[in-house]
Structure 1
Amino acid sequence: MTDRIFNVLFLCTGNSARSIIGEVLTNHHGAGRFRAYSAGSNPKGEVHPMAIETLGSLGYDTAGLRSKSWGEFTGPDAPQFDFIFTVCDNAAGEACPVWLGHPMTAHWGIEDPAAVEGDGQGQAFINAISYLHRRIELFLSLKLSVLDGMATERKLKDIGQIEGASLKAENPQ
């Protein structure tokens, strides 16, 4: 067992829902082994209220969450990431910054719960949390110390294809 803490970054365009959820779930379930962050290419400036409400109702700590630009993580004082996951199809298709250390990347696209309006929005957030929770659970169970880089990257991409994958995640171009 290693004492190393792996840094994980979840990317989305707006950094208001899915990437925030990924950050919260990974920090909660990976405590001690993983430290997660989230950012967006074009941040909304606030975390979606339903994300905070739903995560809070499930017992997750939402204190200090904020919508932020991926530019915060490109400077010399930024953490060096081991893993970067895009969780929205738009962010997966964008030209990302060059990340120091060449982290492993995978696309874990799921549909945007914030795009659902009306009575179905609460369930859309529950679904998004459930889909991301399953991906993160599989990710955290990987024996990273015994997998080589290519095997790990293949497993990360496979995780992105499980139930709940967005249409573009299921059918990459």
Structure 2
Amino acid sequence: MTRKYKVLFLCRENSARSIIAEALLRELAGHRFDAFSAGPEPAARVHPFAVAQLRPGISDLGILSPKSWLEFTGEWAPRMDLVVALDESVDAHHTPAFPGEPASCTWAFADPLADDIAESERARLFEKVFWQIVRQMSAFIELPQYATPASVAATAAAIPALSAATQRVTTCDA
């Protein structure tokens, strides 16, 4: 039986980048991965520009919602294999301890919700970030260590390969 890897994507409000990453991983490789997303300060709803980027190709937008990362810290929480921070302010020094001691890394993408972005440019930045996440996710799901069942230790050992393969990972801790 093939094991599904559990991946948690984090960003501050869990309304844009992490939601996009969760939806893309579920859509592109849901047969091999269980995808989740969360953040320390979850927004009230998924950002409309994130929904607009996902709408053309994602089959089940209704299951996407901002969540607190605390939902993934209890005894009952699913045991993640990998935690990916998509927000530079959400790194290993700020994240809570997740059960099972999953591997972690950071993929750096611009924040399309940053206060210094002109509203007239926000939709364009959302599109740019969306396609950057698509490219990163495509490289990630093609990594050979995710093609067959592996232990958490093997997953952790694979994190440097992810960095070399994608050149978008800024920090990784195995």
Unaligned runs of 5+ in 1: none
Three-state SS of the structure 2 residue aligned to 1:91 is: coil
Q: Does 1:79 align with 2:85?
A: no
* Worse-matched range after superposition: 122-131 or 58-67: 58-67
Of 145, 151, 161, 1:155 maps to: 161
TM-score (norm 2): 0.84
Aligned to 1:120: 121
Structure 1 residues 46 and 158 mapped into 2: Cα distance closer, same or farther (>3 Å)?
Answer: farther
What is the alpha-carbon distance in structure 2 between the residues aligned to residue 114 and residue 159 of structure 1?
Answer: 28
Kindly indicate whether the alpha-carbon contact (under 8 Å) linking 1:40 and 1:68 is maintained by their aligned counterparts in 2.
yes
Structure 1 residues 151 and 127 mapped into 2: Cα distance closer, same or farther (>3 Å)?
Answer: same
**For residues 148-171 of structure 1, what are the alpha-carbon distances to aligned partners after superposition, in whole Å with 9 as ceiling and x for unaligned?**
456511123345643xx7xxx49x
Q: Does 1:55 align with 2:54?
A: yes
Cα displacement (A) at 1:35: 0.8
TM-score (norm 1): 0.84
What is the alpha-carbon distance in structure 2 between the residues aligned to residue 159 and residue 69 of structure 1?
Answer: 30
Q: Which consecutive aligned stretches of 4+ in structure 1 deviate over 4 angstroms post-superposition?
A: 145-151
Aligned to 1:12: 11
Number of residue pairs aligned between Structure 1 and Structure 2: 163
What is the alpha-carbon distance in structure 1 between the residues aligned to residue 83 and residue 89 of structure 2?
Answer: 15
Q: Share of identical aligned residues, percent?
A: 33
Cα displacement (A) at 1:75: 1.4
What is the one-letter code of the residue matched to 2:128? N
What is the alpha-carbon distance in structure 1 between the residues aligned to residue 75 and residue 85 of structure 2?
Answer: 22
Cα displacement (A) at 1:46: 1.6
Structure 1 residues 35 and 42 mapped into 2: Cα distance closer, same or farther (>3 Å)?
Answer: same
Aligned to 1:111: 110
Cα displacement (A) at 1:107: 0.5
What is the one-letter code of the residue matched to 2:33? F
